[in-house]
Structure 1
Amino acid sequence: MGTAKIIAGIKMPDSAMTSQATELLREYGSELLYNHSLRTFLFAALNGQQNNIQFDTELLYVSAVFHDLGLTSHYRSEDKRFEVDGANAARDFLSGHGVSPQMLQLVWDAIALHTSPGIAEYKEPEVALLNYGVALDVVGKGYEKLLESDRHEILGQFPRDGFKKNIIPTFFDGFKHKPHTTYGSINADICACMIPGYQRKDFCDSILQSPWLD
């Protein structure tokens, strides 16, 4: 495998399994998703390191690599949330590497819940750290805790290149054919932003219009 690269004090995983995961991201993801996913891993791992949190580096890495692959044409379904598509893809990938059922479920949860603030941060370290890394990269949550030197080193390796402008259309492209799957999630905001006159399904309407008499 050669000498592992160290970025911002984090040793990048370089096992056969993680290398294959990276190859899939390269093959089926875009440059934007590649850079975002690797920044997400580094932000997550840094947070874990700085807070003395014990976590499985390889599983966190695979979770970060697969977390948005459910947006891509190769992995997306017609009827599931994109997070579930990515989680299913990661589970299939890891099962081929002899990962235990418990760890398969851990990675599945990390990916499926990465857009679920208020839940993910209270689960296992890998789940919470992935959510942290995603939130830091997408909306800047915890930005003030990131050392400037670490930020520059990470962005030097995995640049943003107009990320703010391009990530919303990238998200939307992944589920524009199934906007109903965004109900109850922050992704409904993407549909409202990108679809003129989009009417979100309303939970209160669902209650009041249910078949129950009272």
Structure 2
Amino acid sequence: MSLTISATAIPDSKLAKEATAILREQGTDLLFNHSNRVYLFAAELGRQKKLRFDPELLYVSAAFHDLGLVKRYISETERFEVDGANAVRQFLTAHNVAEEEVMTAWTAIALHTTPGVTQYMKPEVALLFSGVGLDVLGEGFESFPAELREAIVAEYPRENFKEGIVKAFFGGFENKPGTTWGTVKADVCERFIPGYKSPNFCDLIANSPFPDSVC
């Protein structure tokens, strides 16, 4: 680990190491590097904001946050975010982690693509969203310490990341595009599935089976 990023080093607890092993075994190099960057970005953002957070729980959440995109964890009907959240629940429960902490990790992963909500929730939930936003969309890029940012990227490279992460997203729900309705991931389906258009909320209201009364 570079001395430059030693202050935000990956937790070395038994639980964190097991989460790392699962991420390495089940994920891809792209997801491994992405998840580690997400944690390091999130941890630094937490320190900048002087938030009290559990580094181990935040790291495990980061390690599992995109595992809903890989074959072992993909369900037939759930959003990929929920698949990842369910995977972390199973992992943490098997290690006798308290239910409150399990629920925090579950929520962080389930909401990591949902804007406008997580900033009002527990620090681990808010920070995972912010770490993902920085790594995927560049949100907060200019305000994050440049030297630290560059050291993190050097340690966990962004090789062909912009194209690769979009393809990884699509691979996780190409067989269940309906699960992306109402989320930002619907854009991915519209980009890759010829002719696909996410349902329109106004149309769904208009086609509700309830009859409207006439005043």
Q: TM-score, normalised by structure 2?
A: 0.96
Match of 2:158 in 1: 160
Q: Give the equivalent residue in structure 2 for 1:170.
A: 168
Partner of 2:148: 150
Amino acid at match of 1:206: L
* Structure 1 residue ranges without an equivalent (≥5): none
Residues paired across the two proteins, number = 212
Deviation at 1:8? 5.4
Q: Percent identity at matched positions? A: 51
Identify the residue that residue 66 of structure 2 maps to in structure 1: 68
The letter for the 2-side match of 1:157 is E
Map Cα deviations across residues 83-112 of structure 1 (whole Å, 9 max, x no partner): 000000001100111111111111000000
Q: Residues 54-103 of structure 1, C-alpha deviation per residue, up to 9 Å, x if partnerless?
A: 00000000000000000000111010000000000001100111111111
Contact 2:65 2:109 (C-alpha < 8 Å) held by counterparts? yes
Indicate whether 1:187 and 2:185 are aligned. Answer: yes
2:208 pairs with one of 202, 207, 210: 210
User: 2:107 corresponds to which residue?
Assistant: 109
Contact 1:25–1:65 (8 Å) recurs in 2? yes
Deviations 1:8-43 (A, max 9, x none): 521320111110000000011000000000000000
Partner Cα separation in structure 2 for residue 105 and residue 29 of structure 1: 23
Q: 1:126 aligns with which of 106, 124, 127?
A: 124
> Given residue 21 of structure 2, which amino acid in structure 1 is its aligned partner?
E
2:4/2:148 contact within 8 Å kept: no
Q: Point out the more displaced range, 56-65 or 196-205.
A: 196-205
Does structure 1 retain, via aligned residues, the 8 Å contact 2:68–2:81?
yes
Q: Secondary structure at the match of 1:7?
A: helix
Output one character per residue of 1:99-154: Cα deviation in whole Å (capped at 9) or x when no partner.
11111111000000000010112211000000000000000000011111101110
Counterpart residue type for residue 87 of structure 1: A
Pairing 1:38–2:53 present: no
User: How far is the alpha carbon of 1:174 from its aligned partner?
Assistant: 0.6
Which of the numbers 10, 21, 33 marks the counterpart of 1:12?
10
Check 1:8–1:155 CA distance in 2 against 1; reply closer, same or farther (3 A cut): farther
For residues 164 and 112 of structure 1, the distance between their equivalents in structure 2, rounded to whole angstroms, comes to: 22
Instruction: Report the RMSD for the aligned CA atoms in angstroms.
Output: 1.5
Q: What does residue 81 of structure 1 align with?
A: 79
Q: Distance in 2 between matches of 1:34 and 1:110?
A: 18
- Structure 2 residue matching 1:144: 3-state secondary structure: coil
The amino acid that maps onto 1:116 is T
